[in-house]
């Protein structure tokens, strides 16, 4: 697999954070041509320029921003969507506003970008791979996670619909990686608070996940000769079991 991505254009949408950076480093090592988008933190994204990545400022909720992002990779092979919102609700009165924001960031933006990318791939009659990032909260029930988990669960279903629509001769695969408690990105604050310590203390998981765990799963789905589409890979050390 070491050379199979060399020269292929891959977009990492919202890929400047911990999970995206780990994937970017792994893919750059293989010679992939990376385009990394960020919404507002250019300073963090600039670190990835050292990998040869092209940086694009984009809010996935904006149709114009999505168009500019896709145009930055005219021979697009792969799309990985890391962008999202933790959708934490501190007070019951906040639920409605947070739910709206979460739906836009965790479902609508990623799915519209995935569909638009797939249309461009199909127009070029070129095979491609799309990987969306969900969460273990999309496949298991965690009290208090309504605003975050519901859009992520809908993302799983929407991804499978896209996988069915673009399968066959087009050979555009759509899969989902669902990380568990990973020491990067959105979960860092929860880990620091001790929220998930009991899973270690009770021996349910051997350790918290690392960005490299997620990067390996993403890389697996990007493999050009991969025969898998419409699937969800839960990378959580068995926590949701």
Name the catalytic one among 77, 148, 166, 199: 148
User: β-strands 33-38, 54-57: how paired?
Assistant: parallel
Residue 148 annotated to the active site: yes
Strand order, beta sheet including 54-57: 54-57, 33-38, 9-13, 76-81, 128-133, 172-179, 232-235
SS3 label, residue 166 = coil
What does R_g of the chain's alpha carbons equal in angstroms?
17
- The secondary structure element, H or E, covering residue 202 is none
- Report residue 109 CA to chain centroid gap: 12
As a whole number of angstroms, the distance between CA 77 and CA 172 comes to 9
Report yes or no: 57 and 38 within 8 Å, Cβ to Cβ: yes
User: CA nearest 174: which of 212, 236, 121, 105?
Assistant: 121
Burial bucket for residue 203 (CB in 10 Å: 0-12, 13-18, 19+): exposed
Write out the two tokens for 97.
């506003």
As a whole number of angstroms, the distance between CA 11 and CA 81 comes to 8
State the catalytic residues: 148
């Amino acid at each position: 697999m070491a050379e199979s991505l060399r020269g292929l254009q891959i977009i990492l949408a919202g890929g400047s954070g911990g999970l995206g950076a780990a994937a970017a480093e792994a893919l750059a090592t293989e010679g992939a041509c990376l385009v990394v988008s960020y919404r507002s933190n250019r300073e963090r994204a600039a670190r990835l320029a050292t990998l040869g990545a092209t940086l694009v400022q984009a809010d996935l909720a904006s149709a114009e921003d999505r168009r500019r992002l896709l145009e930055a990779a005219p021979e697009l092979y792969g799309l990985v969507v890391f962008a999202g919102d933790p959708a934490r609700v501190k007070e019951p009165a906040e639920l409605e506003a947070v739910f709206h924001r979460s739906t836009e960031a965790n479902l609508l933006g990623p799915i519209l970008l995935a569909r638009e990318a797939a249309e461009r791939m199909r127009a070029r009659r070129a095979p491609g791979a799309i990987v969306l990032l969900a969460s273990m909260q999309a496949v298991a029930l965690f009290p208090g996670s309504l605003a975050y988990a519901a859009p992520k669960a809908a993302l799983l279903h929407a991804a499978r619909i896209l996988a069915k629509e673009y399968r066959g001769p087009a050979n555009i695969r759509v899969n989902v990686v669902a990380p568990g408690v990973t020491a990067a990105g959105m979960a860092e604050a929860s880990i620091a608070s001790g929220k998930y310590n009991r899973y270690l203390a009770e021996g349910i998981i051997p350790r918290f996940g690392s960005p490299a765990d997620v990067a390996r799963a993403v890389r697996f789905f990007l493999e050009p000769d991969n025969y898998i589409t419409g699937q969800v890979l839960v990378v959580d050390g068995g926590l949701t079991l």
